[in-house]
Amino acid sequence: MKRWTTILILLLAAGLLLAGCSPAAPVDPPEEPPAGNGEAPPAEPAVTELDVPVYFGNANADGVVAEIRTVRYEEGATEEEILLLVLDELLAGPQEDALFPGIPAGVRVLGVTVDDGLATVDFSEEMELNFGGGSAGELIILSVLANTLTELDFVDLVMPLVEGDTLFLGHVIIEEPLTRDEDMIVS
């Protein structure tokens, strides 16, 4: 019996020790004191929505067709930030099955600048490596870039680069900025 009493005492002691080592109940953080100056907390930045025509190649590869995309940006966004949002929509490709992307698959934007109406866009090497070829494809790429980006009020000309160098597409070397080409836009 003495042995059972000793075992029981040891088990109770171990249980008490283990219970004392359990994590404490969570404590709620102290409440922030109210602002003493009576001012309201800063407001969230206003978000602007901009509907932009984004152009993609038509089924005949002889023109471009616009899909309206909505980009959202916070008040105070730079022209470069807005340009990147529009480029994201262009790189995402068309939503309509009858259209095809003008930009080759896998292309990334490495950087953008906007200076006095000139948007310079530096693309990854996939712009040249993944280009399928053909003069119609060249015209579509150049047209979707120029026509999409010049839809922005602050862009008049577009200078595409690849890895910081001149863009080369099969038969075309782009050494001068692109202008809007209304003749390529079809309904």
Residues 78-97 pLDDT 10s? 999 999 999 999 999 999 99
* pLDDT higher than 70, residue 25: no
CA-to-CA dists, residue 131 to 109, 126, 141, angstroms: 15, 8, 9
Mean pLDDT computed over every residue of the chain: 86
Residues 112-163 pLDDT 10s? 999 999 999 999 999 999 998 788 999 999 999 999 999 999 999 999 999 9
Contact 71, 82 (CB under 8 A): yes
pLDDT of residue 18: 46
- Greatest mean pLDDT range, 6-15, 26-35, 135-144, 149-158: 149-158
Q: Which two tokens stand for residue 81?
A: 């930030």
pLDDT-derived band at 54 (thresholds 50, 70, 90) equals very high
The percentage of the chain sitting over the pLDDT mark of 90, rounded to a whole number, equals 71
